[in-house]
Amino acid sequence: MLNIVLLEPEIPANTGNIGRTCVATGSRLHLIEPLGFQINEKQLRRAGMDYWKDLDVTVYDNFADFLEKNPECQGKLYMATTKAKHVYTDVAFEEDAYIMFGKESAGIPEEILVEHEEFCVRIPMLENIRSLNLSNSVAIVLYEALRQQNFKQMQLLGELHRLHWKE
């Protein structure tokens, strides 16, 4: 099971959208405080829709608390940042990888990135763009990890419902 880690997320709609994406992909969501909202906020529930109740989510007091309670993430904790030298498609994501994203206004603090530099990845974009929306960034990297695993246990085929039109 893949793990999405949000460090100090600030915008409830982004976190709600990410929660919905986690439910749709069977991924776990880890939220590291402080959060810029309350978990029960209306915007969070609206973005996550009725999926929030199905979300596997854990909240941590801080980054140290997250690391202490998830020792298995060592060596497979990837950090998405515009400061990375490696593109996210260069990584071979493990089935139980942890993919971390920073808060919307500032990303992941440099003191954390420096300690994990070899695990930092970036999404390519034009030079003058500060960053992508957080929920879009999570979806891009998460679906690459899922693609690498051949979308294991995910529904791959859809079906059109043929309508019969009268002339």
Backbone φ and ψ for 80, nearest 5 degrees, come out as -85, 125
102 is in an annotated binding site: yes
Query: Is residue 131 a known part of a binding site?
Result: yes
Q: At what angle do helices 12-25 and 134-148 cross, to 10 degrees?
A: 10
User: Residue 105, annotated ligand binder?
Assistant: no
Paired tokens of 94: 């493990």
Per DSSP, 83 falls in state T
**DSSP code for 34:** P
Give phi and psi for 25, each to the nearest 5: -110, 0
Residues at the binding site for S-adenosyl-L-methionine are 102, 123, 131
Residues at the binding site are 102, 123, 131
